[in-house]
Amino acid sequence: MNWLLLARLLGLLGMLVGGAMSLSLPWAFPFAGQVEHFEEKGFWGLVGAIVFALVIGGTLYVVGRKNQGTVLRKEALAIVGLGWILSGLLGSLPFLFAGVQRAPGVPMNVADALFESISGFTTTGASVLTELEDPVLVPRCVMFWRCFTHWLGGMGIIVLFVAVLSHLGAGGKALLRREVPGPIAESVRPRVQETAMVMWAIYVGLSGLEALLLVAQGLSLYDALCHTFGTMATGGFSTYNASVGEFGGGTVEATIVFFMLLAGTNFSLYYAILRRQEPGRGILHRLAPVYRDPEFRAYLGIIVGASLLLTLSLVRTGIYENAGVAVRHAIFMSISIMTTTGFGTEDFNQWSEFAKGLLLLLMFVGGCAGSTGGGIKVVRFLIFIKAIRVEVERAFRPNVVRTIRLGGVPLDNTIRHDVIVYFSLVLFVFITSWMVLAAIEPDAQWQATNGDVNAAKLLDCASAVAATLNNIGPGLGVLGPAENYSDFSAPGKLLLTLLMLLGRLELFAILVLFMPSFWRTQ
Amino acid sequence: MNWLLLARLLGLLGMLVGGAMSLSLPWAFPFAGQVEHFEEKGFWGLVGAIVFALVIGGTLYVVGRKNQGTVLRKEALAIVGLGWILSGLLGSLPFLFAGVQRAPGVPMNVADALFESISGFTTTGASVLTELEDPVLVPRCVMFWRCFTHWLGGMGIIVLFVAVLSHLGAGGKALLRREVPGPIAESVRPRVQETAMVMWAIYVGLSGLEALLLVAQGLSLYDALCHTFGTMATGGFSTYNASVGEFGGGTVEATIVFFMLLAGTNFSLYYAILRRQEPGRGILHRLAPVYRDPEFRAYLGIIVGASLLLTLSLVRTGIYENAGVAVRHAIFMSISIMTTTGFGTEDFNQWSEFAKGLLLLLMFVGGCAGSTGGGIKVVRFLIFIKAIRVEVERAFRPNVVRTIRLGGVPLDNTIRHDVIVYFSLVLFVFITSWMVLAAIEPDAQWQATNGDVNAAKLLDCASAVAATLNNIGPGLGVLGPAENYSDFSAPGKLLLTLLMLLGRLELFAILVLFMPSFWRTQ
Ligand SMILES: [K+]
Ligand SMILES: [K+]
């Protein structure tokens, strides 16, 4: 391991985080923010965190500045894993320094702040805050930082997918090669950088468009930005206790639904559309890369199917006054969960057990590869289903070699193996963490709110693990404690924080950090 | 597909099942059974089923008798899958013909009878009967048949493992080659038959020994045999509502615990012990194959660990009067669930959430390969853990080729792949079936017994799926409905029946039946 190189790059990242923090400072002032008076605690808390980040980052940079080595596979992995952890640590400082209270009179402790910060950077959107709208509990400028971590994390993932994640296991590289129709195909280094830049520009462009549309519909710039961050990063942090339900449906909700859908789509498809600029051809020709993409079709198909099933379930149980409202909520929640955004309009805990189970399953599907969405990703499901067919056929035709095709393109056989490994690994991590969480959290918490029937604990723990591992955010949580992560114990919060990192970085970049052989100099 | 060959062999099996049924007839008479008067309905119900089985079997045999083809891979798979289904169908007839009542005044329907019969043959031990002890509801001779299906199914699995299952995917063949230290190593056909015979003899011998010990401790021959069938096949059907709890602890319980442990062990280890007959060497030398076997060590280790954790949890929650009782119940339940037997001494639904979650996890581990136990099997877990390490290492050392070793013996790389496929497939089947079951079963059933908190439905459905897919039997079932499968709907029961078959035959022999290409003549 090239430690000096690591120090230099992590130092650079630390300074970047400090710089990004300073964009939250204006919101402490009445003219820019939502506040009447200057937010003293919030402002100085942010300033302290900025200084801290710059000092830490600067020191690391100075230590490693002489190093000019190139980033090899090991270093790349270490920078991804440690970089996300460092960002999370630094990002938690504003919450601590500004004395943010997770409930009236309960200041956030270290585990709380780390949970909230890493939940932001990993675009999970799970929160320990129980009251979002009171500037005394959470200063508006720190709240802005909280939402901004989503956007930074989302950008990181989009760029990272091109630069690093696609070169790891789980078939990433091959997936990318297949899906990015442009420069990456030749796979030379400058081209990777070019692709990353284009992706970054698309991300910024779509974000700007959404913010503009939201402002045009009467939202304050503050609310428009914060909800754009939550949407485009598929993060899900809102500035309101009622989340997107605050806006009461209508065009604002429709705008957010549409951009959630865009955020869960493979960004390279947008690039492909942009490149098809042949004069005299219609819009259908332009959109061909999208509707011909098997992953996008499956993504839309699952959303439509889930919306239908949810609508049926909602109409049958008759929770809503009419079918129109049921359809609206069904579509919103399907897209919010499937894209792993986690915005809410309705408390789905009152929905039927089947509806809740379906949402729990959707959590694992997730968005498309190359999007900001989390979860296992649609394309892996497509490959998994095909791979399973091949494996079953192998039981009676052991000597026939089959090649899986996706959208007509043959896939390398190692992808099949990698995808199956990824599936089993996700489920293994899910089950183990579920059990550990159930062991850590005392039963008493569930019994208190639910009489002697404490059955919901196991389910709540399962949903908390699923919602963090897949970077969704809100869990099913039938009972009080899990509607919000506030009441989980500190060790429980740290475990869930680790799961957010594991899910966001597609397991490997975090798992390797626990292997001694990874750190040994070869 | 060689249909005539299939008909001939299935016909033979049908006649065997009919013949086996006749062994239940004596128990309808007062001198042999537990009854005061001749059980008319039970007797004639059995006779009808025997005639039916002989006619069906005979017809199939006559149809295919001219065929002298050899059993190829496809035919072997079809015979395993269809054979278990045929046995289940024929085995359900006594329940129907004898008018067995699953509750007072509620006769079993076709789904009930099929569920009970396949639960028996697959050694699952899940039951739809709510009252076992009343001969008017369940004639003693039919009850004997119910327990006897376990023993037949267990024998089938032991022989099958050697003859067929070990040649399928999921690394079976290689596992066997590694583990059966004797004749199979050379892997020529007569040797396979020899091994199967030896395994069969060990199964019969251990069963006889247990029955003798139980009779010596004062059990009636009827009870001794029925509980021996339940133990050695890791089945779990009892003749008492309180299951093994009926015997109130003591040496009977200890005997059953000991034989459950033996039934969950790889039977080839016993063969290896029998073969080490060198004079002048001590018992340790004799037992070397056992304590050197990595799977057996892990099997014992998991049981000891689980017993300790359960004891801790039970002592902390203080359900039992003293630690001794807690230890006893903890050991019994650990072994009963881990070996997938499913006998009970205590209602574990009153245990802590953590304890229940731990039992749910143990369900998936299961016994050793080559035992009568179900579940994923210990050895697959050992390989899975090692395989995952290799996969993670591949993320930073993509070009290093590693070979997994188990007990010092290198494993073929395809085993690694097969085991990971098996894991992902089991979890995939588990999750899909869970969702379908939750959709099929109406919420109302859970609401009725539990007020408005219907959260336990998802958990109960999960435990029902886990308990059938892993051939355990009793589910976690916090609420009434799942303590027993009686209240599930007919489609739900059929789904669970399919899961028992899938689990028992290690997925592939059932999954191929659903593939059109399997049936096409090549
Ligand atoms: K999210
Ligand atoms: K069983």
Q: List, for residues B389-418, the tens digit of each pLDDT value.
A: 888 888 788 777 788 888 777 877 778 888
Q: What is the CA radius of gyration of chain B?
A: 23
Chain A residues 230-259 within an 8 A CB cutoff of chain B: none
The mean pLDDT of B463-469, rounded to a whole number, is 89
- The C-alpha torsion from B470 through B471 and B474 to B477, rounded to 10°, is 30
Alpha-carbon span B519 to B522, nearest angstrom = 9
Task: Note whether B457 contacts A: Cβ–Cβ < 8 A.
Answer: yes
pLDDT value of position A449? 53
Mean pLDDT in chain B? 83
Using the predicted structure, report yes or no on whether residue B335 has a pLDDT greater than 90: yes
Report residue A191's pLDDT band, with 50, 70 and 90 as the boundaries.
low
What does the pLDDT read at residue B50?
96
Q: Which two tokens stand for residue B19?
A: 């013949």
Instruction: Look at A23-32, A449-458, B297-306, B386-395 and tell me which has the smallest mean pLDDT.
Output: A449-458
Query: How confident is residue B442, by pLDDT bands cut at 50, 70 and 90?
Result: confident
Amino acid present at A181: P
Closest ligand, as measured to the CA of A236:
1
Q: How many CB atoms lie within 10 A of CB B137?
A: 20
**Is pLDDT at A179 greater than 60 in this prediction?**
no
Over the stretch A304-320, which tens digit does the pLDDT of each residue have?
A: 999 999 999 888 888 88
Of A43-52, A175-184, B67-76, B426-435, least confident by mean pLDDT is: A175-184
Lowest mean pLDDT among A406-415, B43-52, B135-144: A406-415
A139: alpha, beta or left? (left if phi > 0; alpha if psi -120 to 50): beta
Is a pLDDT exceeding 50 seen at residue A295? yes
Q: Is the dihedral of CA B517, B519, B521, B522 positive or negative?
A: positive
Band (pLDDT 50/70/90 cuts) for residue B445 is: low
Q: Which band of pLDDT confidence, cut at 50, 70 and 90, is reported for residue A350?
A: confident
pLDDT of residue A334: 94
Say how many Å lie between the CA of residue A120 and the centre of ligand 1.
9
pLDDT the model gives residue B418: 85
Q: What is the pLDDT of residues B172-222, one digit of tens each?
A: 444 443 333 333 333 434 566 677 788 888 999 999 999 999 999 999 999
B433 pLDDT more than 70: yes
Q: What is the pLDDT of residue A157?
A: 79
Residue A106: enclosing H or E segment and its boundaries? strand A106-107
B325 in contact with A, Cβ within 8 Å: no
ipTM exceeding the 0.95 mark: no
pLDDT for the residue B521: 64
> How far away, in angstroms, is A377 Cα from ligand 1 center?
14
Report H helices in B264-371.
267-275, 283-291, 294-317, 323-338, 353-365
Q: With an 8 Å Cβ cutoff, are B439 and A354 in contact?
A: yes
Answer whether residue B81 shows pLDDT above 60: yes
Instruction: Give the minimum alpha-carbon distance from B3 to chain A in angstroms, rounded to a whole number.
Output: 16
Alpha-carbon gap: A416 to the closest alpha carbon of chain B (Å): 10
Flag whether pLDDT at A214 surpasses 70. Answer: yes
Angle CA B254–B260–B261, to nearest 5: 90
Terminal-to-terminal C-alpha distance of chain A: 8
pLDDT at A172: 42
Percentage above 90 pLDDT, chain A: 36
pLDDT in tens, B449-461: 544 444 567 778 8
Nearest to B421 among A73, A391, A456 (CB): A391
d(CA B374, CA B121): 12
> What pLDDT, in 10s, does the model give residues B141-160?
999 999 999 999 998 877 76
**Residue bearing the bigger pLDDT, B98 or A402:** B98
- Distance between CA atoms of residues A268 and A375, nearest Å: 18
Between the alpha carbon of residue A235 and those of residues A24, A86, A197, A206, A434, the distances in Å are: 18, 19, 22, 15, 23
In this complex, is the C-beta atom of B453 within 8 Å of any C-beta atom belonging to chain A? yes
Residue B289 pLDDT exceeds 80: no
Check residue A277 and give its pLDDT. Answer: 64
Residue A471, marked binder: yes
* Percentage of chain B exceeding pLDDT 90: 37
pLDDT at position B329 over 80:
yes
Higher pLDDT, B163 or B416: B416
| Paired tokens of A513 | 């950090």
Report the chain B residue with the minimal C-alpha distance to residue A512: B392
Instruction: Write out chain A residues lying below 8 Å of B423, CB-based.
Output: 424, 427-428
User: What is the bridge-based pairing of β-strands A405-406 and A106-107?
Assistant: unpaired
Q: What is the pLDDT of residues A140-164, one digit of tens each?
A: 999 999 999 999 999 887 776 665 5
**Which pLDDT tens digit goes with each residue over B213-254?**
999 999 999 999 999 999 999 999 989 888 888 888 789 999
- Nearest ligand (C-alpha, residue A340): 1
Amino acid at B305: G
Smallest Cβ–Cβ distance between B450 and the set A453, A515, A517 belongs to A453
Task: Give the pLDDT confidence score for residue B47 in this predicted structure.
Answer: 96
Weakest mean pLDDT among A278-282, A389-393, A398-402, B465-469: A278-282
Residue A168 has pLDDT above 60, yes or no: no
| pLDDT in the model for residue A360 | 83
pLDDT score, position B111: 93
Interface test with A, best of B424, B460, B479 (most A CBs within 10 A): B424
What is the reported pLDDT for A170?
Answer: 38
- For B20, the token pair is 């086996």
Chain B CA closest to residue A393: B512
The CA A386 to ligand 1 mean position distance, Å, reads 28
- What pLDDT was estimated at residue A182? 33
* CB-CB under 8 Å, B438 with A354: yes
Residues B152, B267: Cα–Cα separation, whole Å? 16
CB-CB neighbours of B22 under 10 Å: 15
Q: Which residues contact A195 (CB under 8 A, 6 or more apart)?
A: A162, A180, A182, A183, A184, A268, A271
pTM greater than 0.90: no
Q: Choose among B301, B360, B310, B357: nearest CA to B332.
A: B310
Is any Cβ of chain B less than 8 angstroms from the Cβ of A442?
no
A window 395-424, beta carbon within 8 A of B: 395-396, 398, 417, 420-421, 423-424
* A133-162 residues touching B, CB cutoff 8 A: none
Specify the pLDDT at position B482. 40
A382 with A334: CB under 8 angstroms?
Answer: no
Mean pLDDT of A427-443: 84
**Better pLDDT: A183 or A62:** A62
Quick: pLDDT tens for A484-521.
Answer: 788 888 899 999 999 999 998 888 888 888 888 888 86
